[in-house]
Amino acid sequence: MGAQVIVLAGPSGSGKSHLAERLGLPLLRLDDFYRDGSDPALPRITAGANAGLVDWDDPASWHCDEAVAALTTLCRTGTVETPVYSISANGRTGTQALSLSGSPLVVAEGIFAHHVVGPMREAGLLAAAYCLRQHPMVTFWRRLSRDLREHRKPPLVLLRRGLALARAQRRIVAEAVAAGCTPVSADEAYAQFRRLPVSR
C-alpha cells in the first residue's frame, strides 16, 4: 500500500504552514497549483473596491485536477514533479522534485485544500483532514504581516482582501467542515496526528 495524505485546510493565516513544518513530514504545497496571472480563465472580482482584479480566493483560480493528480502519483510512486509558484510574480517560476523518502504520510496544505479531501478519500489515500481555526482578528494580522513582508501584492489590495477574508472566515471554515475536515486548533490537530497509527 502506498502513502496516505494528511490534509491541512483553513483560512489564509490560520497556521497551516507552521503546523506542516511541526509535523516534520514531506509537504506538498497546494498553493503551487494556482493558475498563472496571464491565464484568461482566471475569475475576477465583480463588485466592491477590488472589482476587476483577479479573485485569488475563488477555487477557479487554482488547478484542482493537477493537485489531485500530483498527490495521487506521490502516494503511489513515492515521487512527483510539482510546480513552484511565486505569488508576487503571479506565476510559476519552475518545478521541483518531491520525494516521500519512505514516509508513509505526506502533508497537503493550502487555502483550497478541502477540495482534495473527497478525491483522496475515494482513492483510499486519506489519512486525516483538518481545518485550522483561529479568531478572525488573529488570522487577519498574521496574514497581513506575512503578505506585506513577502510583498505578495500592493498594500492596499492586501488590506482590502484581508478585511474581506475576515468577514468570510466562518463560511470558509464551514465549507471545509462540509467537505470532511475536522475543525481544530493547530495544537489539537497535532495531538490527533500523534494518535494516528501510521504516524508512529
| Domain spans, the chain | 4-199
Residue 199's pLDDT is what? Answer: 58
Q: Is the pLDDT confidence value at 136 over 90?
A: no
Residue 162's pLDDT is what? Answer: 67
Coil, strand, or helix at residue 83?
strand
Q: Is the pLDDT confidence value at 31 over 90?
A: yes
- For domain 4-199, the question of CATH label 3.40.50.300 is answered with yes
Q: Is the pLDDT confidence value at 85 over 60?
A: yes
**What is the distance between the alpha carbons of residues 2 and 131, in angstroms, rounded to a whole number?**
24
Q: What percent of the chain has pLDDT over 90?
A: 60
pLDDT, average across residues 73-102: 93
pTM above 0.85, yes or no: no
Residue 145's pLDDT is what? Answer: 80
- Which residue blocks in 35-94 are alpha helix, DSSP H? 64-77
Closest CA to 96 of 20, 33, 140, 10: 33
Residue 193's pLDDT is what? Answer: 94
Q: Is the pLDDT confidence value at 1 over 70?
A: no
| Residue 129, beta-bridge partner list | 7
Decide which of 67 and 196 is more confident: 67
Q: What percent of the chain has pLDDT over 70?
A: 96
Least-confidence region, from 20-29, 58-67, 128-137: 128-137
CB atoms inside a 10 Å sphere around CB 26: 19
